[in-house]
Structure 1
Amino acid sequence: MTAPDARQAFRIAWAADRRANGSYPKSRFVMRWFRLAQRWKAGRGPLSRLMFIMVGGSYKLVTEGFMGIELPVSTPVGPGLRLRHGVGVVVNPASRIGANVMLRQGVTLGNRRTSDDCPIIEDDVEIGVGAVVIGAVTVGAGARIGPNAVVFKDVPAGAVVMSPLSEIRA
């Protein structure tokens, strides 16, 4: 089986995002715009470049400047990303986000020492309100990060991280 082209990858991801954000119209709007910008960025040729400048530029201006959602188009994000409220979400472009991940308001995924030592968030992870995940850490599949937790160590799959002590329970 061959890898999906940009258009097909967009359709697959957008369908999953639409289902994941079914009752959140703002999140559906942001994720559709995000996927469109990613689709045009992945394309080739002058039309794709022009469309990316228009779609990607307007996406960045509106989501970062007016909505307070910093989810760069260059960030690899699996299908089915759930944005809950979205305000104050900051994602470093070097972070990687798996499929079916939930980001709530005030979440930060960022670097710690260098510009590219960012988190890897595996599939089916939920990150609570105000949580901060920094550095080159991996949050394992199915893990839950509680509200206001600060994570700077690897989190095993299925674990729960609670605040304020960032206690890890496997």
Structure 2
Amino acid sequence: MVTEYIPSLAKFYLNSYNNFTINNMSYIFQDWKRNNNNTKGKIITSLFRLAHTISSKKYLKYILFPYLLFYRFFVEWLLGIELPWHTKVGSGLIVYHGQSIVVNKNSIIGYNCTMRQCLTIGNAKKNGKSPTIGNNVEIGANVCIIGDITIGDYVTIGAGSVVVKNIPPHSIVVGNPARVINTMS
């Protein structure tokens, strides 16, 4: 009975590994095209995607737990980027000048978003809700996006802005507190 169990367990892990590698290799490198000449951005996004994949599958989380520790040490402590592996991030993420970036794990970031240095995306109070950022959003340097707010699609947030209210789609936003200065059509 034990000898029958071992091969089936081995087959399960082998099939799981094959499915992981075949189906998720494109997932792990999905941001490379948009980070064309940005080596640091490619490294950060690939490490994030791999950690996200590992943490989403219970058996991989236990087997590859050392990688998750490596991710936390390398990306968070050495590079200074707190992008938790549980964060929901759409494809096409660009990270320019990746340093001093803090993203709450409950934040949701859409497709084709651009992040720059000294960025904070998080909740306004302990256990509060986090922002939802739409698709094709450009976020400038030294921006704070705080609270239970929604940033619409195709929004550009200027450097140094503090966003604490909802932003409609197709807007350009600047200032502290952030205000819409232009609406694109």
Distance 1:67 1:159 in 2: 31
Q: Which residue pairs with 1:99 in the alignment?
A: 111
- TM normalised by structure 1 equals 0.89
CA deviation profile, 1:37-96 (whole Å, cap 9, x unmatched): 111112242x54221x12211011111111111100010111111000110100011111
Matched-pair contact (CA < 8 Å) for 2:163–2:177: no
Describe how 1:29-44 pairs up with structure 2 within 5 A.
Answer: 29-44=43-58
Matched-pair contact (CA < 8 Å) for 2:29–2:46: no
Say which SS state the counterpart of residue 90 (structure 1) adopts. strand
Distance 2:121 2:67 in 1: 24
Task: Tell me whether 1:21 sits opposite 2:35 in the alignment.
Answer: yes
Q: Which residue pairs with 1:55 in the alignment?
A: 67
Matched-pair contact (CA < 8 Å) for 1:77–1:98: yes
How many residue pairs match? The answer is 164
Say which SS state the counterpart of residue 115 (structure 1) adopts. coil
Say which SS state the counterpart of residue 20 (structure 1) adopts. coil
In structure 2, stretches of 5+ residues that fail to align are 1-18
Q: Which residue pairs with 1:133 in the alignment?
A: 145
Distance 1:163 1:18 in 2: 31
Matched-pair contact (CA < 8 Å) for 2:136–2:154: yes
RMSD of the alignment, in Å? 1.8
Runs of 4+ displaced beyond 4 Å? 5-9
In structure 1, stretches of 5+ residues that fail to align are none
Identity, in percent, stands at 31
Distance 2:101 2:130 in 1: 15
Distance 2:175 2:21 in 1: 41
- TM normalised by structure 2 equals 0.82
Answer with 1 or 2: which has the greater Rg. Answer: 2
